[in-house]
Amino acid sequence: MTLFLLLGCPGKHFRGEEPTGEELFSRYNEALIVGDLGAWERSEQRVEYGAFSMPRQGINSPMVMRLERPNHFAVVFEFPGIGRFEEGYDGNMAWSLDPTQGPRIKDEEEAARAAFDGAFDGEVNWQERYTDFRVVGLDDCNDTGAWEVRMTTALGDERRYWFDAKTGLLVCSMIEVKGAFGSVKTRSTYSDYEEVEGLLTPKTVVQEAMMMEIVMTMEHIDLDPREFEPIAPPVEVRALLEDEGP
């Protein structure tokens, strides 16, 4: 019966024809929106609470991400035995504060990428964010039949996304993160989609980079919380500007 229902209700069929990348993104957006998005559209800030873990290494940390329109963000981890790790972008600069390496102001390329990835509305505005969509074909990703799309970001980076052939939802991605620190390929899987104020959100994101696995789980999201500290670099990062002069 379950099989029958699944086969009977797949939303939009592509009937053997290969969809275009634009169609896959449209379908992805349709699949994400399952209710009234009024609260999302009205919100200016949000806070996402979750957990970060590296299960093979036995490392766990709470994770708090604060976001503010149009693309400001700050994400904070507290690693037992190591300390507080923070990354962010405030519209002027992108930074990281690593308890082992110290504070760092990211270079222009990294700041541009932080501004891109911190976009408050994320993938909803995909038409403005990506060009050169190319559908590679049907593939298997995270045990799911999925359409692979390669596209170019507004910054000129190629990214690869895999959309579930049945549900239309994003199931995998492959992104190469570049900067002064080097170049790291990151493979991600997205699962456990749950509704938050009319929008489906993946509660579990598993990333693999440099042969290490990172699991991020989202516990809850507050839209327009009553108290929202403005996003700004921490004091250690601001101190780096002292030598730069006015």
Residues in touch with another protein (CB under 8 A)? 54, 56-59, 79-83, 98-105, 180-185, 209-212, 239-240, 242-243
Per the CB < 8 A criterion, the answer to whether 189 and 177 are in contact is no
C-alpha pair distances (Å), 104 with each of 3, 87, 97: 52, 9, 6
Min separation Cβ 235 and another protein, Å: 11
Min separation Cβ 142 and another protein, Å: 17
Min separation Cβ 163 and another protein, Å: 23
Q: Which is nearer to another protein, 142 or 201 (CB)?
A: 142
Min separation Cβ 98 and another protein, Å: 6
DSSP states along 147-208: EEEEEEETTS-EEEEEEETTT--EEEEEEEEEETTEEEEEEEEEEEEEEETTEEEEEEEEEE
Q: Which is nearer to another protein, 26 or 60 (CB)?
A: 60
CA dist., res. 70 & res. 44, Å (int): 8
CA dist., res. 10 & res. 96, Å (int): 43
Q: Which is nearer to another protein, 27 or 104 (CB)?
A: 104
Min separation Cβ 101 and another protein, Å: 4
Sign of the CA dihedral running 97, 101, 103, 108: negative
In the numeric block, the tokens 């990506």 are attached to 130
Q: Which is nearer to another protein, 75 or 124 (CB)?
A: 75
Min separation Cβ 65 and another protein, Å: 22
CA dist., res. 222 & res. 49, Å (int): 8
Does the N-terminal peptide bond of residue 80 adopt cis geometry, omega within 30 degrees of 0?
no
Q: Which is nearer to another protein, 57 or 92 (CB)?
A: 57
**What count of other Cβ atoms lies within 10 Å of the Cβ of residue 172?**
22
CA dist., res. 120 & res. 73, Å (int): 9
Q: Which is nearer to another protein, 197 or 213 (CB)?
A: 213
Q: Which is nearer to another protein, 2 or 100 (CB)?
A: 100
Min separation Cβ 97 and another protein, Å: 11
